[in-house]
Amino acid sequence: MFQQDDLVVYASYGVCAVADNDARTAAGGPDRAYYVLTPINARLGTVYVPTDREELIRPVINREEALHIVEHYDEIAPDDFADTNARTVEAHFKGMLRRCDCLTAVRVAKTMGLRIADQERRKHLPSSLYTRLFDQAARQAGSELAAALGISAEEVRGMMTGDTPAKR
C-alpha cells in the first residue's frame, strides 16, 4: 500500500503525490477505499484510484535507475517501427507510452525527436503527430526522471543533451 506523500506514476498523468490512501467517496460508497493522487503537473487535477486497483500505480524509479537512464541516453536505441500510416504509427507509440515505463517513454521521445530532426533536415515542417508524441513522451519521462533525481525537468533535458553534468 502506498503511503501519504509517496511519489507514484499513474498512467498518462505521470508523477503524482499520494495525498490520501484511504479516501471514501460518495460514488464508491463507504466500503471502497481510494488513493487520492495529486499530479505534479497541477493543471491535471486530482485523481481517484481505487486501492483494489493498485496495479495501475507504480512507484517512481529510484535515483540510481534515473541516473543510469540519463548517463546511457546515447546508447538507448530509437524504436525501429517503420510503418508510415499515421493511425498505425500513433497506435504503436501510444501503446508504448501506456506501458507507463520511464525507459520506454525516453525511447519514444528519442525516436520522435530523431524523426522531427529528419523532417526539418529535409526542409519539411515537423509532423504534428510526431510533435504530439514527442511532447507526451518527453513530459512523461522528464517528470519521472526529475522526481527521481530531485531536479527540474529542464535540468533533466540538459543532462540528456550534455548541457549539464550527469552526476549530481
Distance CA 139, CA 49 (A): 21
SS3 167: coil
pLDDT at position 65 is 97
Q: Can you give the pLDDT at residue 42? A: 63
User: Any residues with CB less than 8 A from the CB of 40 and at least 6 apart, and which?
Assistant: 7, 14, 15, 16, 17, 143, 147
**C-alpha grid cell, residue 145:** 526522471
Q: What is the DSSP letter of 44?
A: G
Q: What is the pLDDT of residue 26?
A: 72
pLDDT of residue 167: 42
φ, ψ (nearest 5 deg) of residue 121 = -60, -35
Rounded-to-integer distance, Cα 107 and Cα 159, Å:
16
**DSSP label at residue 163:** S
pLDDT value of position 148: 96
Supply the pTM of this predicted model: 0.86
Q: How much is the pLDDT for 168?
A: 42
Listed as ranges, residues in the chain with pLDDT below 70 are 42, 161-168
pLDDT for res 120:
95
User: pLDDT digit string (tens) for 2-34?
Assistant: 999 999 998 778 899 999 999 987 777 778 899
